[in-house]
Structure 1
Amino acid sequence: MRLDKFICHHSGISRAEAKRVLRQDLVTCNGEAVRNGAYKVTAETEVELDGQLLGEVKKRYIMLNKVTDTICSTVDEEYPSVINFLDELPNTRGLHIAGRLDVDTTGLVPITDDGQWSHQITSPKKQCAKRYRVWLAEPLCADAEQQVEQGIQLHGEDELTKPGILERIDDTEVLLTITEGKYHQVKRMFAAMGNKVVGLHREQIGEIELDETLYEGEWRELTEEEIQSVWQ
């Protein structure tokens, strides 16, 4: 990791402020003053800022309960980014969303700066299960469970969807578990069955369930057990 980025991550100061303390010889690496922000910090490097030892890089793992009309991006575009809800964090640079949701979809969004961890969630080869609560415009067809289990032919796709699990709460509310993440997949699956999704909420990814105590727009750090469950 670059020295200036390391300083920001562990002290909460801005990149501009990090450049200033570097110019003032307030930063040492293994006892030697370093001014170059691009200096490579390794696990063996002891970095001190104005005599205070800065800790080792610690990856961050967060669950957010997404609200509607927000986007799973690191910057604001037509809609505000979900990253805006992390305003209590001293530094959100480097964070990314592991498993995006559509602008009108609510629920569980993992956010991290650990690329290998998020790959376990997002890579199609890992087949990480995601469970959604779905509200429909029309009563569900009688054989919907069988169709989902066997795979559904989506418009514009050459192959059937991978087998999923459909649990019927009532005729217009269901739980759907899938291991893929095709573009608008859930909405397209029900469209292929002659229905329309009017509400969509992600409740679970792998073994990580959305914390019921989190209101929409709230977040918390993942527990060590939740973090490790992704590797299992």
Structure 2
Amino acid sequence: MRLDKYIAANTPRSRAEVSKLVRQGAITVNGARAIKASQHFDERGDTVMLLGETVKALGETYLMLHKPAGYICANSDAEHPTVIDLLIARDSKKFAHPLPIEHLQIVGRLDIDTTGLVLMTTNGDWNHTITAPNKKCLKGYSVETAEPIDESLAVKFLEGIQLNNEKHLTKPAILRVLGNTRCELDISEGKYHQVKRMFAACNNRVTSLHRYRIGPITLDTHLEEGDFRLLTPSEIALNAS
């Protein structure tokens, strides 16, 4: 790994500051003065010291974000703002150490106009426990539709819906009607625009879609749109089991 990247990810120092500290002789690798900020080292076996203190890896990062409409779930995009942009804009004000932005994986994506819970992590195995199809992780959505929702739709969703251009029915989904045009829906898949396509197949149109739960993790009601926080150890353990 690059020296400046490692130190910036595990201390409050920026890459520019790391370069300056290297020139000042304040950084060593295995006791030898670092030559340049871009030099590579083995983070499993080498020891990096900054101003006489060992720089230790902070460990894996786990976040929940309350995604607003208008942002896409991508690390970068030339046309639209991303959920990563939200982290960058607020990161410096929230934590003593910078987030490892370049290593974050988005766990379960949302459409640009869908709001709600987005999880992010640097732990690929943890990501897999949520997103792998065989894990059958339930995602909970609050849905509003253009037309009234018939109570009989709950049975249809449980039996599976035939989506346009799909060979197989959707997996059983749990629909709870809350009002004339409001419901909650639990699905275990993540097909492209799946919730919208399921209602469209039943001659209805989704006008508002909000994800409030992924597996056992529920969106923190104290998080305003665009805000985020670290997951608690108990939340991390819930999806690891």
Instruction: Give the TM-score normalised by the residue count of structure 1.
Output: 0.92
Unaligned runs of at least 5 residues, structure 2: 93-97
| 2: CA distance, partners of 1:112 / 1:19 | 27
Aligned: 1:59 with 2:68: no
Residue matched to 2:116: 107
Equivalent residue of 2:142, what SS?
strand
Residues 197 and 203 of structure 1, relative CA distance in 2, 3 Å threshold: same
| 2: CA distance, partners of 1:94 / 1:16 | 19
List per-residue Cα deviations over 1:159-201 (Å, max 9, x = no partner): 0111111111013111100110000000001011110000000
- What is the percent sequence identity of the aligned residues? 45
Letter in 2 for 1:80: P
Please, which moves more after superposition, 69-78 or 168-177? 69-78
Residue matched to 2:239: 230
CA contact (8 A) 1:4 1:38 kept: no
Residue matched to 1:37: 39
Residue matched to 1:46: 47
CA contact (8 A) 2:105 2:122 kept: yes
Aligned: 1:148 with 2:171: no
Equivalent residue of 2:103, what SS?
coil
1:201 to 206, 210, 223: 210
Residue matched to 2:8: 8
| 1: CA distance, partners of 2:131 / 2:18 | 33
CA contact (8 A) 1:3 1:41 kept: no
| 2: CA distance, partners of 1:176 / 1:103 | 19
After TM superposition, the structure 1 = structure 2 runs for residues 114-125 of structure 1, keeping only pairs within 5 Å, are 114-125=123-134
Report how far residue 143 of structure 1 moved.
Answer: 1.7
Aligned residue-pair number: 231
| 1: CA distance, partners of 2:3 / 2:216 | 36
Residue matched to 2:81: 80
Letter in 2 for 1:13: R
Letter in 1 for 2:40: A
Report how far residue 127 of structure 1 moved.
Answer: 1.3
Letter in 2 for 1:162: K
Please, which moves more after superposition, 134-143 or 71-80? 71-80
Report how far residue 37 of structure 1 moved.
Answer: 2.2
CA contact (8 A) 1:61 1:221 kept: yes
Residue matched to 1:135: 144
| 2: CA distance, partners of 1:167 / 1:142 | 9
CA RMSD of aligned residues (A): 1.8
Unaligned runs of at least 5 residues, structure 1: none
Aligned: 1:191 with 2:193: no
Letter in 1 for 2:7: I
Report how far residue 7 of structure 1 moved.
Answer: 0.9
CA contact (8 A) 2:151 2:177 kept: no
